[in-house]
C-alpha cells in the first residue's frame, strides 16, 4: 500500500509471532481444517440434492479447489506472511481491494468455528443427555446455546497456550480424523456395498442443476475448504518458502481423495428402502447423524460408536484451527492498516490475544442469525469463495508486473489456470443461491462500514501505515460484486428464474473472464506493488 514513509526502526515489543511450525504441522493444519464436520454431513446432503451423481459434484468441487490451491501455492511461497489470503490483493490492487478481500477472509474464518460447534451438538443428540440442545428444526435451544458458547471458549483457551502446543494438539486430532473416515470407507464398502444403488432410481434424477447446486449448497465446497490454513500460519513457519506450497497441495490431495471415496461408499451402503421414495426423500433411522445412523442400521454398531465419538473430535479440531486462523487474519489486516494495532498485540506465548477474543465474540453472535448448520454452510461457502477469488487476481497481476520475482513454486500453465480458477470461484458463488448472496451482501456492507471507518480515521489522524484506497486499481470490484448479485437475483439458483439454466452459467463465466482481465489491466504498476510488499515486509521483519 502507499503509506507514509515513517517506518519502525526496531521490532515492536509484544507484536511478535514465533516461527515454530514445520511441514507436518502446516499440512496437518490444512488437512485438519478440510476434514471436519463436512465429512459427517456432506455425503448425505449431496446425494439428496443430486442423487448418485453427487459423485460428479464432488469431483467438480475437487477440481475447483485444486485449481485454487495451485494458485495459492505459488503466492504462499512468494509471500510467507501471517494471514496471507487477506494480504495478496492488497499488494497488487491497493487499499480498497485489499480491505475488501481482507474482510472476506476474516468473515469466512470467523464463522467456521460456530459451524463446527453446530455439528458437534447435532451429533451429540444421539446421547440422551444432549437431546435437549437442539430443536426439531436444528436450531439451538437455550441450553444448547450455552453449550455452544462453552465450546467456543475452549477453542480460544487452547489457542492461548501458544502455537507449538496448538500444532501438536491439532496434529494428534488430525491423525484421528484421517484414520476414522478411512476405516469407515473400508469397512462399509467391504461389508455393505450395493452397486445397483447408483442406477435403480436414476443416476442423475435432478439433472445438471442438481449436480451444480450440490457443489455449493450441500456442503461440498465447504467440506473441501481449509487448505489455506497453512498460508494463514506462514508467519509462524520454520521454512515457509518450501513448506507452504507442499502443505497446500498435499492437504488438498488427501482431503479430495477421502471425500470422493466417502460419497461412493455412502451411496453403495444405503438400504434400498431408505430411498424408495426418491433421493430427495432419503430417510432412515438415525439420519440426523448420517454416517453413524447408517452404521447402526446395517449392523455395524461398533463403528457407529466410533463415529459418534469422531463427531466430537473431528469438528472440534477444525473449529480449533479456524479460531487460530481468525486471529492471524486480523493480525494481517492490522499490519495492512485496516484494523486497530491492538489486533497485533501478542502475549508472552506470541499469541495475538485480542484477535482471539474478537473471534470468540463474533463466533457466539453467529449462533443467533444463522442457528442451523445448513444455513451457516451456505453463507460461509460464499464468503469463502469470495476470499479465494482474490488470489487468482493477485496471481495474474504479479505474473504481469513482476515476472522475474523469485517463486519457490512456479505454477505450470499459470496464465490459463489462473483465469479458469477465477471463473470457477465466481460460479461457485453464484450456485450458492440468491437467498444466501443477499445476506452476504449485507455482511459485505457491514465490513465496509467497520474497516472503512477505521481506515478513514487512520488517514485523518495521520497514523503510520494508514492505507491509501487506490480507487483506480479497484474500479472493477464494485462492478464484480453487484454483477454477481444481479445475475443471481434473475437466475435459476434461488432467483426469479428469468435467465434460463446454462444461459445463466455462460453469462457468469463470460462476466468473470471480463472482470479478470479488467482487473489485471488496472492493477498497480510494478513499482507500487514492490513498495506495498516492502512496506509489509519491513513491518513483518520487525515482528520476527
Domains and CATH numbers, the chain: 23-538 (1.20.1740.10)
Return the pLDDT at 511.
Answer: 98
- What is the value of pTM for the model shown? 0.79
**How many alpha carbons lie under 13 Å from residue 539 in its C-beta half-sphere?**
24
Report the alpha-carbon distance of residue 15 to residue 274 in Å, rounded: 56
Assign residue 470 a region (left: φ > 0; alpha: ψ between -120 and 50; beta: otherwise): left
Return the pLDDT at 513.
Answer: 97
Q: Any idea of the CA torsion for 193, 288, 207, 436, to the nearest 10 degrees?
A: -150
Return the pLDDT at 270.
Answer: 93
Asked if 253 and 180 count as a contact pair (C-beta separation under 8 A), the reply is no
Return the pLDDT at 140.
Answer: 84
Asked if 158 and 320 count as a contact pair (C-beta separation under 8 A), the reply is yes
Could you report the per-residue pLDDT of 447-458, keeping only the tens digit for each? 888 888 888 888
DSSP H/E element including 332: helix 301-335
| R_g (Cα) of the chain, nearest Å | 22
Report the alpha-carbon distance of residue 535 to residue 444 in Å, rounded: 27
List of residues 6+ apart from 133 with CB closer than 8 A: 121, 124, 125, 140, 141, 143, 144, 147
Q: Show the DSSP H helices in 160-239 as ranges.
A: 163-191, 207-217, 220-224, 229-232
Return the pLDDT at 19.
Answer: 62
Q: Show the DSSP H helices in 461-502 as ranges.
A: 476-490
Could you report the per-residue pLDDT of 185-223, keeping only the tens digit for each? 999 989 999 999 999 988 999 998 899 888 877 878 878
Question: Helix 476-490 to helix 503-522 angle, to the nearest 10 degrees?
Answer: 170
Share of the chain above pLDDT 70, in %: 89
Return the pLDDT at 185.
Answer: 94
Return the pLDDT at 13.
Answer: 46
Asked if 34 and 225 count as a contact pair (C-beta separation under 8 A), the reply is yes
Cell triple for 22: 514445520
Could you report the per-residue pLDDT of 128-152, keeping only the tens digit for each? 888 888 887 777 888 999 999 999 9
Return the pLDDT at 478.
Answer: 94
Cell triple for 63: 477440481
Residue ranges of the chain with per-residue pLDDT less than 70: 1-20, 37, 82-86, 163, 232, 234-235, 369-382, 464-465, 535-544
Return the pLDDT at 464.
Answer: 65
Asked if 229 and 27 count as a contact pair (C-beta separation under 8 A), the reply is no
Cell triple for 504: 445463466
List of residues 6+ apart from 245 with CB closer than 8 A: 73, 74, 76, 77, 408, 409
List the end-to-end C-alpha distance of the chain, in Å, as a whole number.
21
Report the alpha-carbon distance of residue 321 to residue 173 in Å, rounded: 11
Report the alpha-carbon distance of residue 397 to residue 360 in Å, rounded: 35
Amino acid at each position: 500500500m502507499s503509506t507514509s514513509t515513517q517506518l519502525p526502526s526496531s521490532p515492536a515489543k509484544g507484536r511478535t509471532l514465533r516461527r515454530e511450525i514445520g511441514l507436518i504441522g502446516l499440512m496437518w493444519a490444512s488437512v485438519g481444517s478440510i476434514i471436519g464436520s463436512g465429512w459427517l454431513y456432506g455425503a448425505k446432503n449431496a446425494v439428496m440434492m443430486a442423487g448418485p451423481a453427487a459423485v460428479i459434484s464432488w469431483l467438480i468441487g475437487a477440481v475447483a479447489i485444486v485449481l485454487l490451491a495451485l494458485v495459492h501455492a505459488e503466492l504462499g511461497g512468494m509471500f510467507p506472511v501471517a494471514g496471507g489470503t487477506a494480504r495478496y490483493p492488497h499488494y497488487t490492487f491497493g487499499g480498497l481491494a485489499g480491505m475488501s478481500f481482507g474482510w472476506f477472509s476474516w468473515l469466512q474464518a470467523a464463522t467456521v468455528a460456530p459451524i463446527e460447534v453446530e455439528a458437534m451438538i447435532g451429533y451429540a443428540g444421539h446421547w440422551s443427555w444432549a437431546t435437549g440442545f437442539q430443536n426439531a428444526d436444528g436450531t439451538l435451544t437455550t441450553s444448547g446455546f450455552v453449550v455452544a458458547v462453552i465450546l467456543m471458549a475452549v477453542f480460544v483457551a487452547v489457542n492461548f497456550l501458544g502455537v507449538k502446543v496448538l500444532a501438536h494438539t491439532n496434529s494428534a486430532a488430525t491423525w484421528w480424523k484421517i484414520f476414522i473416515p478411512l476405516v469407515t470407507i473400508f469397512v462399509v464398502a467391504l461389508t455393505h456395498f450395493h452397486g445397483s444403488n447408483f442406477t435403480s432410481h436414476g443416476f442423475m434424477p435432478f439433472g445438471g442443476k442438481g449436480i451444480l447446486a450440490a457443489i455449493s449448497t450441500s456442503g461440498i465446497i465447504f467440506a473441501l475448504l481449509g487448505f489455506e490454513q497453512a498460508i494463514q500460519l506462514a508467519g509462524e513457519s520454520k521454512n515457509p518458502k518450501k513448506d507452504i506450497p507442499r502443505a497446500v497441495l498435499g492437504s488438498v490431495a488427501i482431503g479430495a481423495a477421502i471425500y470422493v471415496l466417502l460419497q461412493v461408499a455412502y451411496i453403495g451402503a444405503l438400504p434400498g428402502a431408505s430411498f424408495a421414495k426418491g433421493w430427495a426423500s432419503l430417510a432412515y433411522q438415525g439420519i440426523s447423524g448420517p454416517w453413524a445412523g447408517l452404521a447402526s442400521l446395517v449392523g455395524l454398531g461398533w463403528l457407529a460408536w466410533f463415529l459418534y465419538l469422531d463427531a466430537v473430535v473431528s469438528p472440534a479440531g477444525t473449529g480449533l484451527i479456524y479460531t487460530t486462523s481468525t486471529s492471524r487474519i486480523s493480525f494481517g489486516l492490522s499490519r495492512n492498516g485496516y484494523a486497530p494495532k491492538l489486533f497485533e498485540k501478542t502475549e508472552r506465548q506470541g499469541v495475538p490475544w485480542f484477535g482471539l477474543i474478537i473471534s470468540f465474540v463474533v463466533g457466539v453472535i453467529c449462533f443467533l442469525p444463522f442457528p442451523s448448520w445448513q444455513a451457516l454452510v451456505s453463507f460461509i461457502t460464499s464468503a469463502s469463495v469470495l476470499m479465494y477469488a482474490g488470489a487468482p487476481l493477485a496471481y495474474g497481476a504479479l505474473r504481469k508486473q513482476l515476472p522475474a520475482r523469485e517463486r519457490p513454486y512456479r505454477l505450470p500453465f499459470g496464465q490459463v489456470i489462473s483465469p479458469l480458477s477465477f471463473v470457477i470461484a465466481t460460479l461457485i458463488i453464484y450456485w450458492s443461491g440468491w437467498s444466501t448472496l443477499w445476506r452476504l451482501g449485507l455482511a459485505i456492507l457491514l465490513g465496509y462500514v467497520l474497516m472503512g471507518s477505521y481506515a478513514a480515521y487512520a488517514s485523518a489522524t495521520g497514523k503510520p501505515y494508514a492505507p491509501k484506497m487506490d480507487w483506480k486499481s479497484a474500479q472493477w470490484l464494485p462492478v464484480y460484486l453487484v454483477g454477481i448479485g444481479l445475475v443471481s437475483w434473475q437466475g435459476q439458483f434461488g432467483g426469479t428464474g428469468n435467465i434460463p439454466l446454462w444461459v445463466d452459467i455462460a453469462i457468469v463465466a463470460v462476466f468473470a473472464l471480463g472482470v479478470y482481465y479488467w482487473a489485471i489491466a488496472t492493477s498497480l504498476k510494478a513499482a507500487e506493488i514492490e513498495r506495498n510488499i516492502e512496506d509489509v515486509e519491513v513491518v513483518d521483519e520487525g515482528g520476527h
